[in-house]
Amino acid sequence: MNINTFFKSVIDADTASVVICDLEHTVVYMNPASIARYKVDITGKSIKACHNDESNRKIDRVVALFAESRENNIVYTSHNAKENKDIYMVALRDENGALIGYYEKHEYRNKETAEMYKM
């Protein structure tokens, strides 16, 4: 089986939104959770069309930071108090460490309420 199938499966199984962009800011993939959250699939379109000028400048600054060094791979961008989550931009790199894109990562801070190992 193709390794990409495994990676796609991981992203698709995540209950948090995952929006993956290339270096031209084109959305190359949205997982099902992100499409449900934003109620639109913008795959193939610029992520910048969804943001204001200030946010777009911040996106550019983060991508420039990622490009400066292979060590620069994650930036905390905001906290959503209503949903109690932190949002990050994460660098995507090829097998040689070259920057190929980025994605938005959501980390929810609410304590899990489900019973452990309930099957």
With CA atoms as reference, report the closest residue to 76 among 68, 84, 85.
85
List the beta bridge partners of residue 73.
Answer: none
pLDDT of residue 77: 95
How far apart are alpha carbons 12 and 28 in whole angstroms? 14
What CATH code is assigned to 17-108? 3.30.450.20
pLDDT in tens, 8-30: 999 999 999 999 999 999 999 99
Reported as a single tens digit per residue, the pLDDT across 26-68 is: 999 999 999 999 999 999 999 999 999 999 999 999 999 999 9
For residue 116, the 8-state DSSP code is T
Tokens (6 digits) for 90? 């994460």
Domain locations in the chain as residue ranges: 17-108
How many CB atoms within 10 Å of residue 17?
20
38 vs 65: CA distance, rounded Å: 27
pTM of the model: 0.89
Distance CA 53, CA 51 (A): 7
Mean pLDDT of 88-105: 96
Q: What is the pLDDT of residue 54?
A: 96
